[in-house]
Amino acid sequence: MGTRTSPVTELLRADTEGVLLPLVDAALPCGPTEVDPGTAGRMVRPYTWLVEHVGPDGLRLTGSGYLPPASVAAAAEEFGLRRTWTGSFAREETALPVLVLRESAQQLGLLRRRAGVLRRSVPAARALGDPVALWHLVAEGLPLRSSGEDGGRAGLLLLLAVAAGSDSPYRDVAAGLSALGGSGGTAVTARAAADLCAATAWVLTWTGAIRGNDLLGTLRPTPDGTLLARAALGHLA
């Protein structure tokens, strides 16, 4: 059996100009990434709430595969989404923050869907009551998988940018994708980069790992976010 090459090493091999070296050097942890229970609990609170809401017996989805309206309303109330998001919370398909929370919980392996019922995964059920364990489950699930080579690389580049404490994460993702020949060799814009890594960015948003408005140029990693991103990169090594 051959040795497994880490995704970061694969990026560096593909970067023939060495554009990514400074970002990688700034991002990679020098030692173990430890998180205290208070910080972990605060960051994973949205996922803790959702896993608890699903319950030990599971939660039946609508015929179209969405959370039932009562669950959407409960999430909106729990997290004050009506104050921060313009839109309807009558159904999950029109409540984007709730939709991406549920979808990301599935992609992270915290929830499973079977026969129209959403159920806790075994690891997530075991981690309830242990925020540090749940925090590491989230870190292990990052970056979320995206379609296409550019999508997969974009999520990883976003983790590197957040781990490095970048002042402009999407610009760094765009520069990385451009160096790797994304978009057929043409320069990738920050807006296009944001779209490509949106799934991972939503997890970072829900956990408070990034804050601000990317359209206004104010999006920044938080210190807690840098820790989470470094833990995720450590799991990929």
**Which of 27-36, 87-96, 191-200 has the weakest average pLDDT?**
27-36
The mean per-residue pLDDT over the stretch 1-25 comes to 86
pTM of the model: 0.93
What average pLDDT does this structure show over 80-87? 91
| pLDDT tier for residue 215 given thresholds of 50, 70 and 90 | low
| pLDDT for the residue numbered 188 | 92
Average pLDDT estimate for 106-125:
98
Q: What angle do CA 94, 97, 100 make, to 5 degrees?
A: 95
Average pLDDT for 123-151 = 92
pLDDT at 237 over 90: no
For residue 196, give both structure tokens: 């490509």
pLDDT of residue 31: 64
The confidence score (pLDDT) of residue 1 equals 43
How far is the C-alpha of 14 from the C-alpha of 96, rounded, in Å? Answer: 35
141 within 8 A of 109, measured Cβ to Cβ: yes
Asked if 215 and 146 count as a contact pair (C-beta separation under 8 A), the reply is no
Query: Once rounded to an integer, what is the mean pLDDT over residues 143-170?
Result: 90
Of 4-13, 110-119, 179-188, where does the model show the most confidence?
110-119
Where residue 3 falls among pLDDT bands split at 50, 70, 90? low
